[in-house]
Structure 1
Amino acid sequence: MIGELGHFALALAFAFSALLAIIPLVGVARGHGGQMALARPLTYGMFVFTLISFIALVWGFLANDFSIAYVANNSNTALPAIYRFTAVWGSHEGSFLLWMLVQASWAAALALFSNRLPLVFAARVLAVMGMIGVGFYLFMLLTSNPFERTIPLIPVDGRDLNPLLQDPGMIIHPPLLYMGYVGFSVAFAFAIAALLGGRLDSAWARWSRPWTIAAWVFLTLGIMVGSWWAYYELGWGGWWFWDPVENASFMPWLAGTALMHSLAVTEKRGTFKSWTVLLAIAAFSLSLLGTFLVRSGVLVSVHAFAADPTRGMFLLSFLGVVIAGSLLLYAIRAAKVQSHSRYDLFSREVLLLGNNVVLVTATVVVMIGTLLPLFFQQLGLGNISIGEPFFDEMFFWMTIPFALILGLGPLTRWRRQDFSEIRNSLALAFVLAVALGFALPWIFADVVHGLAAIGLILALWVVFTTVAELRMRVASREQKWPALVKLGRSHWGMVLGHLGFAVMVIGIAMVQNYEIERTVRMGPGDTFEQSGYVFTFDEMYEWEGPNFISDTATFSVTRTDGSRVGIIKSEKRFYVVTRQIQTQTGLQVNAFRDLYIALGEELDDGSWAVRIHIKPFVRWIWAGSILMAIGGIFSMTDKRYRLRRRLKAERKREHDAEIANEKEARV
């Protein structure tokens, strides 16, 4: 009964999304305020029934209702309760229901916090969200129903959840990633609504910007958690492998980063309007492309969902409709948009444009590297491999201009900047960056790798130019440094975002060039010395978990001078139901390095193949990502984006004026 209730609620959510896609736009065309006002309650209805459907599926997992095929395929009575809950998004159907709940949540939040928007514009935005919902709900109802029954052959127990997903990282990774993916639909809806109204002014950029930043923050955290999970769970020791599914989330992140910077120019200077709209379309289209890659079955990856061709064709058709329709509207409307702002070649506008060019180029590189092997395979031209060396090489060269621009941009004024005013600050930042960029590797590792030095120089350049910009901000004020407190949250968001990028680059430069990896044969009592650390294999013991049996190895770590570092435990788990073996990595960490131990195979003499990694500064990669996300949170909560109460009469005058303008435009 609960399963049927969930399916019926899903159908009602589809009905509400269809009405949301039609009625508000009809109201806009007719100038009917009542029909436009229906956009918000229809959005709330779509959210409520999607939530009911999601709760029904959660109930099925917690109650071990194996009459629901999706529950039977992804759960087990021995599975811990927390993983029975997260198993809801452990495979295709349930994860897409979570996707739809996130989509409906974004739409409901937009309806709730859009009181400052003119009624006509809000109606258009929510109607576009309804159109997106129609496509996704149809996809679920026609190809991916999570409530299909196993009746009459109801299994006694389930097949269990994939052991890779029985991990705390997978509790938060998919929801964060989906919040970012789907969040770009809000930026897309704002852009399409602006095109429909023919008003690509700075107002829509100001309304869209906090929502875009929020989506970017979630996607940043989602990618970061996914990287962290892969690092310690898969046992191979890397933090990014350029897996096609990883790339599928990275492409919209790059486009979203470009969109954030472009929105700042459109909001503050009234220029780059058409370009900003195109980036909004691109960011959401890339999110849809990632959805297609993950769920169509064209990719083989630990991150991908098994899918049949029907799902792939539906998603490909939906992707084509969204891209073709939005670009057609863009071609019709954007050509009429003109920007009247003037600026010199050396100005913040030009530097932000250069920033966008680098980010878009990086997006295209990732897209080519991801899709080209698929095209070759599908066209029968053979198999080609585009892997880590290609991406590492390309991104190394693109990081150089990006970091240089990132340092220059905040120091540069809008419209025109006299280079002599910032020459001394730039020269000092460059000298300090170069000096420390070569000195720090020597201090930490006694050897200087050229690529590491370049990475550190770029990161320190961003740090020192950011500090120089803050110094210039307060130099002309009487209170000097206390004036920093008075800087707006948006400005501090920029500072934290740029510093976060620098911290991440430091982590990448150090771990990529100074990581040490060794695979050794060890048994209880054996020791291995590397880089000032002594690893002693103390013991191997077996213990039983709720649904697995674990062989656990204990290693004690000391320095060569005898001082104690800590204990590291690494496991090999055998999951009884799925008959799969899973490695649980052992870690001993501090702010400057990770000691990483993963058990390989047991050898004939009872010893084990043991992989030992010493990874300097690897945690700075994730710390930098978190710092960038915090910067985004600061920016989106700036006072100019906060809701303010307005008098009812003023709001009514704004709405009436908007409706009158629409009627006049039709005449």
Structure 2
Amino acid sequence: MITELAHFALILAAIAAVVQMIVPMIGAAKGWAGWMEAARPAASAQVLLTGFAFAALMRAFVVSDFSLAVVVANSHTDKPMLYKISGVWGNHEGSLLLWVLILALFGATVAWFGRGLRTSLRARVLAVQASVGVAFYGLILLTSNPFERLAVPPMNGQDLNPLLQDPGLAFHPPFLYLGYVGLSMSFSFAVAALIEGRVDAAWGRWVRPWTLAAWLFLTAGIALGSWWAYYELGWGGFWFWDPVENASFMPWLIAGALLHSAAVTEKRETLKSWTVLLAILAFGFSLLGTFIVRSGVLTSVHAFATDPLRGNVILGIFTFFVGGALLLYAIRAREMTARSAFATLSRESALVANNVLLAVGAFVVFVGTLWPLAAEMFFGRTLSVGAPFFDAAFTPFMIVLALILPVGAVLPWKRATGKAVRPLRIAAAAAFLAAALAWTLGTGKPILAPLGVGLAVWVIAGAAVDLAQRTGRGSFAQRAGRLRRLPGADWGRSVAHAGFGVTILGISALLGWQVEDIRVAAVGERFEVAGYGVTLDDVTQGRGPNYTTTMADMRVDKGGREIARLHPERRVYPVAGMPTTEAAIRSGILRDLYLVIGAQQEGGGWAVRTYIKPFASWIWAGAIIMSLGGALSLGDRRLRLAAIRRKAAPASGVPAE
């Protein structure tokens, strides 16, 4: 009964989305206040109905209701509760339902808290947001119904993909969806502004928090996925340039460009046309990622579905919304003229360079990801594009971006002189010393690692100089007091830039100085890797909640003193018939010890892989710091609302509510 009610609620939510799409848009065109206000109750009804449907599906997974096809295909009675819950979104149908729930929630948030918006703009934003929802409700109800019943329910389910039965992967998809769908709000604001024919500073200030929230969630989601790949897959890497990894990375890059571009629109009312274009492209890349994950056109271990029909529908959604928005943009672009000019040496110019580098970087990833598909379709060739291409084509743009970031942060708006960058001499000196030290300690290693370390220190020290510059002159106590009182946006920018530098440091050190050892070891055998002694003491068989395991007991010593005892595993999930590798990692500030146990070899030995990974944890620490920076900026509510009240109401000609 609950299942049927949930299905009916989802249909009602789709109807509410249709009302929200049509009525407020007509009201905004005609100036009918009552019709415009209809968007708010429709948005609230939509999120409540979709929330009920999602809760009902989650209940079906928790109680193992095997009358539902999606539960049978993605759950099992012996599965731990965490993975029963995560199984809700660990499949195509459930993840789409989560997608529309988040889409409805973002729209309802604008309806609830967007009172500072012009009434007409808010109505149009909610109407555009609802139109995206209508498309995805149609996709769910017509091709991907999560409440499909089975005539004869089986006694048990087929289990969730074992690779997804991990805490990191349990939380990774929701964060990514919050980022993907969060960019739909930037898209809705852009299309609504194009329909109105008005893009101003107040619009730029409203777009920024939504983009910032999406970027923050994408950062967290990508970091969780990278961490999972590092410790779960057993290959020792943190990024594979897999098509689905790239699908989340591309909108993250464009969202970063949009954040910086919206800052220029907000502060200087320039780059308006470019900001609107980035808002369209950011959500376009999110839809492209949805297509890649669910269409089966590209092979990936992360893919949800391989149904061509669903892929074609998603491609149609992508074409309609992105193509339509770009057509509207082409019609309106001439009306979005800049009100102010700026010199070549200025913060605006630095942010333009930042935008170009991020956008071109995203385009490089886009070409590398889809080129195998294009080669097969148009040239009949089967090929793969791997890490060598991406490393060679993408890395130079990020190096230049890292060089520019500290400079752009200290330059004044509109016009600057060489004096503005003099404080960065301290950061430049620190970067040079760090690179020289890294070169000295790593003699014989690739030159790129010391250069990467120097670049990372340049970014981190530049962020510190940026904060110091904002405290002005005076005694230490006075400057410390001003530092505490700096707006959250200033703190957030510097912290996020520093986090980017920390990630660069971790990647440079890991790629430059990692040590790898692969061998066959017998039980009781000791071997040395980079000054560490590793002993395979024992290998035992055991059982987990829904798997069998082969677990090694390995002792690590240095200088004759035991420093760690690690237990790498090989698991086999009988229901799914799939093995997984569970690496054993001893993480530290300066290095990770990373051990993997393989299959038993002829003669009784075991395949063992040992890695010494310097500064590996700094990669994800940097992502955490970047997310913290985004949260600090997002929390700058006092500054944002004050500016909206000053700019939006007087300029609109329509009283703000």
TM-score bin, normalised by smaller chain: over 0.9
Aligned ranges for residues 247-326 of structure 1 at < 5 Å? 247-326=246-325
- SS of 1:271's partner is coil
SS of residue paired to 1:5: helix
Give secondary structure in 2 for the equivalent of 1:572. Answer: strand
Whether the 8 Å CA contact 2:351–2:408 is kept in 1: the answer is yes
Contact 1:292 1:316 in 2 (8 A): yes
Q: 1:549 to 1:369 in 2, by over 3 A?
A: same
Task: For residues 62-100 of structure 1, give each alpha carbon's deviation from its aligned partner in whole angstroms, at most 9, with x where no partner exists.
Answer: 121111111111111111122111111111111111111
CA distance in 2, matches of 1:113, 1:529: 61
How far did residue 656 of structure 1 move? 10
TM superposition shift of 1:114: 0.7
Note the 1:439-588 alignment, pairs <5 A: 439-443=437-441, 445=442, 447-477=444-474, 479-559=478-558, 561-588=559-586
Shift of 1:11: 0.9
Which residue is 1:665 aligned to?
none
Q: Which has the higher mean CA deviation after the structures are superposed, 461-470 or 49-58?
A: 461-470
SS in 2 for 1:189: helix
Hey, what does 2:622 align to over in structure 1? 624
What CA deviation, in whole Å up to 9, does each residue of 1:187-241 have, x standing for no partner? 1111111111111111111111111101100000000000000111111111000
Instruction: Answer whether contact 2:463 2:495 (CA < 8 A) is retained.
Output: no
Identity %: 46
- Residue type at the aligned position of 1:96: L
Query: Which residue number corresponds to residue 49 of structure 2?
Result: 49
Map of 2:415 onto structure 1: 416
Report the Cα distance in structure 1 between the residues aligned to 2:227 and 2:313, rounded to whole angstroms. Answer: 32
What are the Cα deviations for residues 24-66 of structure 1, in whole angstroms up to 9, with x where unaligned?
0111122111111111110011111111111111111112111
Conserved 8 A contact 1:516-1:615: yes
CA contact (8 A) 1:477 1:483 kept: no
Q: Which residue of 1 aligns with 2:654?
A: 658
- Kindly indicate whether the alpha-carbon contact (under 8 Å) linking 1:452 and 1:509 is maintained by their aligned counterparts in 2: yes
Deviation, 1:412, is 0.7
Distance 1:261 1:572 in 2: 45
User: CA separation in 2, counterparts of 1:644 and 1:399?
Assistant: 35
Does the CA-based 8 Å contact 2:406-2:466 persist in structure 1?
no
Does the CA-based 8 Å contact 1:524-1:539 persist in structure 2? yes
Report SS of the residue matched to 1:599.
strand
Structure 1 unmatched runs, 5+: 661-667
Cα 1:60/1:428, change in 2 over 3 Å: closer
1:609 to 591, 607, 610: 607
Q: Aligned equivalents of 1:653 and 1:371: distance in 2? A: 45
TM-fit CA distance, 1:399: 2.0
The CA distance in 1 between the partners of 2:211 and 2:253, in whole Å, is 13
Structure 1 residue matching 2:654: 3-state secondary structure: helix
Give the superposition deviation at 1:385. Answer: 2.0
The SS at the match of 1:264 is helix
Q: Which residue of 1 aligns with 2:113?
A: 113
Partner of 1:99: 99
AA partner of residue 468 (structure 1): V
Give the drift of 1:398. Answer: 1.2
Question: Aligned equivalents of 2:383 and 2:529: distance in 1?
Answer: 38
What residue identity is the alignment partner of 1:658? V
CA contact (8 A) 1:210 1:637 kept: no
Mapped to 1, the partners of 2:642 and 2:41 lie a distance apart of 22
Secondary structure of 1:316's partner?
helix
Q: Is the 8 A contact 2:10 2:49 kept in 1?
A: yes
Q: CA deviation at 1:2?
A: 2.3
Inter-partner Cα distance in structure 2 for 1:588 and 1:619 = 10
C-alpha deviations, 1:574-598, integer Å up to 9, x for none?
A: 1121122111111111111111111
1:641 Cα deviation from its structure 2 partner: 5.2
TM-score by length of 2: 0.96
Deviation per residue, 1:465-523 (Å, 9 max, x gap): 22333333234346234321121110000110110011000001000111111111112
Q: Look up the equivalent residue of 1:469 and give its one-letter code.
A: D
Local SS of the residue matching 2:182: helix
Offset, 1:158: 0.7
RMSD: 2.1
Task: Please say if residues 254 and 362 of structure 1, whose CA atoms lie closer than 8 Å, have aligned partners that are also in contact.
Answer: yes
Q: SS where residue 386 of structure 1 aligns?
A: coil
- 1:135 correspondence with 2:131: no
Q: Which residue number in structure 2 is paired with residue 598 of structure 1?
A: 596
Q: Distance in 1 between matches of 2:526 and 2:649?
A: 79
Decide whether the 8 Å contact of 1:120 with 1:659 is kept in 2. no
Tell me how far apart the structure 2 counterparts of residues 83 and 100 of structure 1 sit (CA, whole Å): 21
Determine if contact 1:118/1:654 at 8 Å carries over to the other structure: no
Is the deviation greater in 390-399 or in 492-501?
Answer: 390-399
Q: Is the deviation greater in 596-605 or in 292-301?
A: 596-605
1:50 alignment partner, SS class: helix
Aligned match of 1:375: 374
Whether contact under 8 Å (1:87, 1:161) holds in the other structure is: yes
Runs of 4+ in 1 over 6 A off after TM superposition: 644-647, 650-656
After TM superposition, list the pairs within 5 Å mapping 1:58-69 onto structure 2.
Answer: 58-69=58-69
**Aligned residue for 1:155?**
154
Gaps of 5+ in 2: none
The two structures have a TM-score, normalised by structure 1, of 0.95
Deviation at 1:464, TM superposition (A): 2.4
Match of 1:663 in 2: none
Structure 1 letter corresponding to 2:319: G
